[in-house]
């Protein structure tokens, strides 16, 4: 195995350690919260977090792709690294302030104001998550600096929820405690950057900050657009069918999201190296396709074993939904391998951006037409259809671009 491939596996390992809590915590907390809060309050929590995801996507502005790519390309030039980091940091802070103000306007809505503790806690969580500079450590390929600290923070979050969240009245504590864990991780990351002198902060130029927004726009569109259909399912279900239906849907879909997180980890681990050597892409693509298919079969057939353990009270309904939604898994892996891990790195950002935007808008419109009548299954059918179409279009664009490159070389 080549040095570059070993680096991808090493980065993935550190990301798994860093993000390991993102797997373990939901697996433990998902059934716990469903049972302790009840489906109705769990649905309310999911509805509030769905709104939070919209704002989180806007605050993070696709930096998990664009900022990682920028840092990876200038990491060997200390002067340019300082400038790029400072521009990205200031632009991140400004965009977080802007959308925090926009978020607060929602409190003029009675339904939001009546649950102000919950929605303020969601804002706190979203802010802390968005300000965490994971993109710096990924771009520098130094994920080991924060791997242990992040795992510790996730463990503290898990323990604090299990200790303090004991009844439906404690719903607001879930996002608050999650935000608190991100705040601790943020403080630790600042100390690590300062102690190890990874990068300096200078006052960037206004032009430089604006340029980061321009460079990050394609990544932002491709990251935000899918929330128009995936995240909107929760929102639309809540509007038409209430919190109990949202709770049942969220319980099933969260299982698939935990599995799909592996695809995002693989791509994020490979991005720094692919930014400098795109020849590694074929190996990554093959690994992503095989992994996606294996995980799909695992969820499809293994869910009959683990769903009753996770959701003993709602096992029948959740099992059927999980098995249906599991069909999305291989398509997500293939899309990420051909889109963010290739088209976004070889100058074809606009092609991928148009594909994601078109299919996401189509899925968003379809959701408003289907969900009012077909409820949860309608939401999953729309998500599945949108995911398949987006993946097929992305793969065709990838093959066309790859073939054109081969022709140019000859």
> Is the model's pTM score more than 0.85?
no
| E strand residue ranges, 233-374 | none
Within a 13 Å sphere around the CA of 174, how many CA atoms are in the beta-carbon half?
A: 25
Taking only the tens place, the pLDDT of each residue in 249-279 is 988 898 898 888 888 877 877 777 777 777 7
Residue 105 DSSP one-character state: G
Taking only the tens place, the pLDDT of each residue in 371-406 is 999 999 999 999 999 999 999 999 999 999 888 776
Q: Which backbone phi and psi does 229 adopt, to 5 degrees?
A: -110, -40
Taking only the tens place, the pLDDT of each residue in 6-53 is 665 666 666 665 555 566 777 788 889 988 998 889 999 999 998 998
203 in Cβ contact with 62 (< 8 Å)? no
Place of tokens 């078109």: 358
Q: Which backbone phi and psi does 347 adopt, to 5 degrees?
A: 85, 15
300 in Cβ contact with 326 (< 8 Å)? yes
CA atoms of 145 and 149, how far apart (whole Å):
8
- Which of 138, 139, 150, 119 has the alpha carbon at shortest distance from 54? 119
C-alpha 120: how far from its chain's center? 21
Place of tokens 């929602």: 106
Per-residue pLDDT band at 187 (split at 50, 70, 90): very high
Cβ atoms within 10 A of the Cβ of 36, count? Answer: 18
157 in Cβ contact with 214 (< 8 Å)? no
Taking only the tens place, the pLDDT of each residue in 338-376 is 988 888 888 788 889 899 889 999 999 999 999 999 999
CA atoms of 210 and 221, how far apart (whole Å):
16
Q: What percent of the chain has pLDDT over 70?
A: 92
């Amino acid at each position: 195995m080549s040095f570059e491939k070993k680096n991808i596996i090493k980065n993935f390992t550190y990301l798994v350690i860093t993000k390991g809590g993102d797997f373990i915590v939901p697996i433990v907390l998902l059934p716990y919260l469903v049972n302790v809060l009840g489906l109705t309050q769990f649905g309310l929590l999911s509805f509030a977090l769905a709104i939070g995801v919209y704002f989180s996507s806007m605050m993070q502005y696709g930096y998990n792709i664009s900022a990682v790519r920028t840092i990876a390309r200038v990491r060997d030039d200390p002067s340019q690294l300082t400038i790029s980091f400072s521009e990205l940091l200031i632009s991140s802070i400004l965009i977080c302030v802007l959308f925090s103000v926009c978020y607060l306007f929602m409190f003029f809505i009675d339904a939001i104001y009546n649950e102000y503790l919950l929605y303020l806690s969601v804002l706190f969580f979203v802010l802390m998550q968005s300000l965490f500079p994971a993109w710096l450590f990924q771009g520098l390929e130094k994920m080991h600096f924060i791997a242990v600290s992040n795992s510790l923070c996730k463990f503290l979050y898990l323990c604090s929820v299990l200790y303090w969240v004991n009844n439906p009245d404690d719903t607001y504590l879930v996002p608050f405690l999650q935000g608190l864990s991100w705040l601790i991780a943020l403080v630790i990351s600042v100390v690590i950057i300062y102690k190890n002198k990874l990068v300096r902060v200078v006052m960037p130029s206004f032009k430089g900050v604006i340029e980061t927004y321009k460079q990050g726009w394609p990544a932002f569109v491709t990251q935000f657009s899918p929330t128009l259909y995936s995240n909107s399912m929760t929102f639309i279900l809540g509007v038409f069918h209430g919190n109990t239906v949202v709770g049942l849907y969220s319980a099933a879909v969260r299982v698939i999201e935990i599995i799909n997180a592996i695809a995002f980890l693989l791509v994020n681990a490979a991005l720094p190296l692919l930014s400098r050597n795109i020849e590694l892409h074929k190996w990554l693509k093959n690994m992503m396709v095989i992994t996606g298919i294996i995980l799909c079969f695992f969820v499809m057939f293994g869910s009959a074993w683990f769903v009753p353990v996770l959701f003993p009270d709602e096992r029948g309904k959740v099992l059927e939904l999980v098995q249906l939604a599991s069909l999305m898994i291989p398509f997500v892996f293939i899309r990420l391998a051909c889109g963010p891990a290739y088209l976004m790195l070889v100058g074809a950002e606009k092609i991928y951006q148009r594909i994601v935007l078109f299919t996401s808008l189509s899925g968003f419109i379809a959701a408003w037409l289907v969900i009012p009548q077909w409820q949860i299954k309608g939401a999953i059918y729309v998500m599945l259809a949108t995911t398949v179409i987006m993946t097929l279009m992305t793969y065709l664009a990838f093959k066309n671009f790859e073939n054109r490159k081969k022709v140019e070389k000859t």
